[in-house]
Structure 1
Amino acid sequence: MKNLLSLILLYWLTFITTFAQTYAEKLGFPKGSKVVIMHVDDVGMSYDSNVGAIKAVEEGIATSMSVMMPCPWVPGFVHYLKNNPKIDAGLHLTLTSEWKDYRWGPLAGKPTVPNLVDDEGAMWRSVEETARHASADEIEKEIRSQLERARAMGFEPTHLDSHMGTLFARQDYLERYFKVGIENKIPVMFPGGHDTMIMRDGAAGLTLEQAQKIGKMLWNAGLPVLDDLHNISYGWTMNKVKNPSDKELQKYKTDKYIESFKDLQPGVTMVIMHCTSPTEVFEHISDSGNTRRGDMLAMLDPKLKKYIQDNQIILTTWRELKERRDKVK
């Protein structure tokens, strides 16, 4: 019965994506186009994160990235950004501090957002703890503080998104996220279209009807909207292989991206990844070095670039989406 229901859902989603107008079409891309933002999360989190993200964009096929403003290596990236203003960079709105020995606190300060802070003076480690303690007012104050710091540094973000998906944990958090984006005319990451991949992978947190209703609201507010979200690459690890070589990591990750891209439907899809060039220090931050290095190596792989070209997948940025949305009446 479960397999039958899955088949019915797949056929229904195929029908919807075939006949409904995608947000890509609304933005002026050709009908049936598969348009992708290759997006690097966690910039500014560490020196290694900065190096990996920059390499993935400058030498590879990544097209966009977002910055964790409360983290220590933000100045290093923003200084780079000032010399490379065409880089598509947004804010990876950060409301958790998940690592054991490497942590950060809210930019709004503990007196302003006391329930966003744990007993170590940092943000809560998990999405669940944040959602249990922090009010929507505190979340909004911290979002605004992160945006204010970016602007004070001369960094105007191309978009907003959510570290660990914390802003999707509660409806009132989502509302504040949308509020700040709409008010500042900054695109927000939200899959409000057919949502084929994100719904199949069970990571949306909303029904399709709810997501599409929100998508229409954001579109009517003048912001571009994603048709889908690809958020599965962090789970592609080679942890069972001890000390995999760069060649092994690259092949593994590239093959995984190509396999998953066969399920891409027409529309604008944001593909989330975590490109990092881990040094010996990174293992003291996180045990995710392999999957992050693999992401970076996949972005540099001519095989993945060729697959994208051969399958007429269009690469884009948040900046381009906003420029296109501004031209649509």
Structure 2
Amino acid sequence: MKPIVFCLLAFFMIHAASAQTKTFAEQLGYPAGKKVIIMHVDDAGMSYDSNEGALKAIHDGVATSVSVMMPCGWVPGFVHILKKYPEIDAGLHLTLTSEWKEYRWGPLAGKPTVKGLVDAEGAMWPSVADVVKHATADEVEAEIRAQLERARTMGFEPTHLDSHMGTLFATPAFIERYVKVGMEEKIPVMFPGGHNTAIRVDERMNDAMFAMTQTIGKQLWQAGLPVLDDLHNVSYGWKLPEGTPATKENLQNFKTQKYIEGLKNLKPGLTMVIMHCTDPTEVFPIISGSTQTREGDLLAMLDPKLKAYIEKEGIILTTWREAMQRRGKVK
């Protein structure tokens, strides 16, 4: 082979290989090798305390995005906040379960339309397994669309869609409807379709599952939507070491260090880091036994040490709104 031909062939092979290994973040125009993070607060609208925690985490802390549980009682309160602060990046935390014992909610589509989503109390089922057992994909899609319709009726256009308790990831049929609605409505969908380094370990993803994420990631990208390179979803399980008093100082120090470790271990690309920030009153412990971890998340987001680490490491914080704007500029 002539030297010039060999050089051209080598150039094109290297170029093709680099194109194939580009992260979705790079394809969106973010610098190569950078960690681009959506610091995301789940469960707004679930309670007054959840609303206050989400707002503080974004306005006073390093959180950048939030999603709203549309069937819940404090949704009007949070939508009123969004109207006051329209710059907040807010999506729909698509909700198909009602997991607490004393405080519950039902489907927005109504029981006659989605009977399989309703338990004996007239609320949504308390567990993901119950939804899988009783609900059809048609019912799931109907409820997704009802939650989107309520948001729009209230004047709230979501920046993205994601899934409460991961219910929409429980079966291939549920995933299909979740992705379908996002693509049809041109709303970004929380879906890790990239290298998935963290989520593969966290979810014990086998090769078939990983291949499925790659296929769906490409579908979402081709539909004009941004795609996550990875998903970090383990903070809910971070508990104070046994015997450590649950003071605000201890909670903040513990959770801040866990988030720093989590960010350190992430690979470059667009990653969503999930948390649940609550500013608890005396009522929240009656709703849920998760007060400690949720308050700890809020305290970590407010901690100057976490902000300083993010800045020192050159981590780029972003939102779903920005990711979608960037996707619109990519041919």
TM range (shorter): over 0.9
Cα deviation, 1:104-141, whole Å, max 9, x if unaligned, reads: 00000101101100000000000000011000000000
Partner of residue 86, structure 2: 85
The separation in 1 between residues aligned to 2:96 and 2:147, in whole angstroms, is: 10
SS in 2 for 1:65: strand
| Mean CA deviation greater in 235-244 or 319-328 | 235-244
Partner of residue 327, structure 1: 329
- Unaligned runs of 5+ residues in structure 1 are 1-15
SS in 2 for 1:270: strand
The separation in 1 between residues aligned to 2:102 and 2:172, in whole angstroms, is: 31
The separation in 1 between residues aligned to 2:306 and 2:204, in whole angstroms, is: 25
SS in 2 for 1:255: helix
Aligned equivalent of 2:309, options 307, 318, 321: 307
The separation in 2 between residues aligned to 1:242 and 1:108, in whole angstroms, is: 45
1:265 to 2:267 alignment: yes
SS in 2 for 1:50: helix
Partner of residue 287, structure 1: 289
| Mean CA deviation greater in 159-168 or 205-214 | 205-214
| Mean CA deviation greater in 254-263 or 147-156 | 254-263
SS in 1 for 2:265: coil
Higher gyration radius (CA):
2
What is the aligned residue count? 314
The separation in 2 between residues aligned to 1:18 and 1:179, in whole angstroms, is: 27
The separation in 1 between residues aligned to 2:30 and 2:148, in whole angstroms, is: 30
SS in 2 for 1:327: coil
The separation in 1 between residues aligned to 2:165 and 2:180, in whole angstroms, is: 20
- Unaligned runs of 5+ residues in structure 2 are 1-16
- Runs (4 or more) in structure 1 with deviation over 3 Å come to 16-19, 203-206, 239-243
Q: Is the 8 A contact 1:40 1:53 kept in 2?
A: yes
Partner of residue 29, structure 2: 28
The separation in 2 between residues aligned to 1:298 and 1:20, in whole angstroms, is: 33
Normalising to structure 1: TM-score of the pair?
0.93
Partner of residue 59, structure 2: 58
Task: Please state how far the C-alpha of 1:238 moved relative to its aligned partner.
Answer: 2.3
**Percent identity (aligned):** 67
Task: Please state how far the C-alpha of 1:240 moved relative to its aligned partner.
Answer: 3.5
Partner of residue 165, structure 1: 166
The separation in 2 between residues aligned to 1:99 and 1:17, in whole angstroms, is: 48
Cα deviation, 1:11-34, whole Å, max 9, x if unaligned, reads: xxxxx9998100000000011111
Q: Is the 8 A contact 1:17 1:194 kept in 2?
A: no
Superposition CA RMSD, Å:
1.6
SS in 1 for 2:178: helix
